[in-house]
A and B are shown apart, each in its own frame.
Chain A
């Protein structure tokens, strides 16, 4: 029997050690350690193909890890995956309920899958339809719902049995900003009720809302901490170049030692720089190139953290290749 949990406090909902998954020669998840505390939103941030989905699937027992240890809600995975399945909700990246069933029929089916008896199922479905603004859609086929409505239906289906842990795989990829905000409000409601949420995303604004964040890149965990910690620990600094000729400024700084990344943001050029490239040096370089510009330090944001964390291995690899 798994140890009893009260669902509160600093206990871990998910613990993974040296988690690795290989598909043939491809290493999809490479030696990842994870600690996810209860009643928190834990985010997976990473580009496509970084191993987010594969990690989530291993955590809920849908995929066998090549090596490593997993413990979720006190169950050893994959050995006790069937026991775990009663206590987790899993929302897939692609809508995975039935397009040719109505909203009500979908939820009715899910309630039966979780062995709800009739009256309990009816009560719970009414409650969910109300909470996720699906009351008017009751008799609509799922196929005819909008992206946001589908996503709310999927969320309703995955929390129907009041799981202790909710795993969401890029839940907002097909949804407009308004719906995304509403969706995140619902997630925090669930967290307040004691649910632990693991969510993968590639939106910075969503990542910023997580209690804690793991940045994955090429299957490796490259950063782990609260968004504030990650921003504070940014190894370089963020600079804002204000100039009438942003594109020339960008061209001039291309390849300048210490410049990790650049991005034009309207009339500004945001430069992510490490120790070698100070504000003064960059200003001097631009002056040298005959470009009039003001360079100022700015507060790092999560995108800087993400770029710094995910760019580096690529640079290293490129440098290594150049040396060879």
Chain B
């Protein structure tokens, strides 16, 4: 390992990167765009669900219920219907996602209590909508439904109160932003490294280089080092925007945040280097990189809760670096945890790096065949 040579490769990479405007723009563009997308657009709290109401009772109570539900803004009653048939049509056409049905004998059901007084019909093809409707059905409408008990304060006290720890306002960005650092680093680090190394081979530069005294180690490390810096810049962009725009807290120390990011960056770069040994062309390396993104994003706990996954998926997730990073970064930023609590996750990332990098180096040969 010759330091001058290593440095010259880093300088060369930086010079090339400076001229590659698209990649350069993506370094800052990807984190910014994703942060805004995930922060604003992807919100699992349902609002303004397009809905219809079929009021066959036309009583004072039924009107009261419709108003009360309308005021939650979960459902936006765009249609007022007269016949059940219309409701079927609207649902099937996708014009509405939910409907409130109040039967003609609503008043009788309320007093006799022999059957459920009303119905919320939901478009079951969307899981999230379904969940929202279920929450709505659990709303304390007792005051309206049981006129006799309206004065009884104990009636409402029996309702379940949901207490949300760490994110009491139910703000989605607080959950997503820390994990987003992981998503962005995974996408850019793995993809950029794999492509940068394969590009050298694809464009024929490698044939010249391997006839010189450059060693594969110098070449790989020299090409990968600039990306460590880029990864840290991206982390900073997400942290800055996350705190400024979405007021995401950093409850642990900043040092721990950057330490985990650094270790995760190195793990992702190793994966990129490994992919580069499998691919012949940049396009192949891109395909393989994307093949690793999906399990990382889906199984890491970023999208779906880890506890709800089948055992096999959990085992698979333990292998993926992103899983450990998500635990690290959420722990540090949201729960204020430190390395004393989270060191096993850091160790897992280190182990991943050692194994993957060793395999990659064993596969790298300074020959063409």
Chain A residues with CB under 8 Å of chain B are 57, 60-64, 78, 82, 85-86, 88-90, 92, 94-101, 105, 108-110, 112-115, 117, 141, 157, 167
* Residue in A closest to B369 when the chains form the complex, CB atoms: A63
Q: Are B12 and A115 in contact (CB under 8 A)?
A: no
B residues less than 8 Å from A112 (CB atoms): 4-5, 7-8, 11
> Contacting chain A: which of B109-117, B209-217, B301-309?
B209-217
Q: Is the CB of B12 within 8 A of A114?
A: no
Report the minimum CB–CB distance from B9 to chain A (whole Å).
8
Residue-wise, chain B 172-215 has the 8 Å CB interface mask toward A (1 for contact) of 00000000000000000000000000000001111111111110
- In the bound complex, residues from chain B placing their C-beta under 8 Å from that of A113 are 5, 8, 209, 212-214
Q: Determine whether the beta carbon of A101 is less than 8 Å from that of B16.
A: yes
B210 contacts across to A, CB distance below 8 A: 62
Contact B367 A61 (CB under 8 A): yes
Which residues of the other chain, B, contact A108 by a CB distance below 8 angstroms? 8
Q: CA–CA, A3 to B4, complex, Å?
A: 29
Distance (whole angstroms) from the CB of A166 to the closest CB of chain B: 11
| Least Cβ–Cβ distance between A60 and chain B, in angstroms | 5
Do B368 and A115 touch (CB < 8 A)?
no
A90 touches B208 (CB 8 A): yes
Q: List chain B residues, Cβ under 8 A from A98.
A: 12, 16, 205
Partner-A contacts on B (CB < 8 A)? 2, 4-5, 7-9, 11-12, 15-16, 19-20, 203-214, 366-369
Chain B residues, CB < 8 A from A100: 15-16, 19-20
Residues of B within 8 A of A101 (CB): 12, 15-16
SS class, residues of chain A in contact with chain B: loop
Could you tell me the distance between the alpha carbons of A88 and B213 in the complex, rounded to whole angstroms? 10
Task: Indicate if the CB atoms of A96 and B208 lie closer than 8 Å.
Answer: yes
A114 touches B213 (CB 8 A): yes
Chain A residues near B208 (CB, 8 Å)?
A: 90, 92, 96-97, 157
Tell me the complex Cα distance, A85–B7, Å.
Answer: 20
For B17, the closest partner residue in chain A by CB is A100
Contact assessment for A115 and B369 in the assembled complex, using a CB-CB cutoff below 8 Å? no
**Docked-complex contact A110 and B368, CB < 8 angstroms:** no
23 contacts between A and B (CB under 8 A): A62-B210, A62-B211, A62-B367, A78-B367, A85-B213, A88-B211, A90-B208, A90-B211, A92-B204, A96-B203, A96-B205, A97-B205, A97-B208, A98-B12, A100-B16, A100-B19, A101-B12, A112-B4, A112-B11, A114-B213, A115-B4, A115-B5, A117-B4
Using Cβ atoms and an 8 Å threshold, which residues of chain B touch A60?
211
Contacts of B204 in A (CB 8 A): 92, 94-96
A88-B211, A114-B213 given. 15 additional CB < 8 A pairs?
A: A61-B367, A62-B207, A63-B367, A78-B367, A85-B212, A86-B213, A94-B204, A98-B12, A100-B15, A100-B20, A101-B12, A108-B8, A109-B9, A112-B4, A113-B212
Contacts of B214 in A (CB 8 A): 113
Check if A115 sits within 8 Å of B2, measured CB to CB: yes
In the complex, how many angstroms separate the beta carbon of A75 from the nearest chain B beta carbon? 13
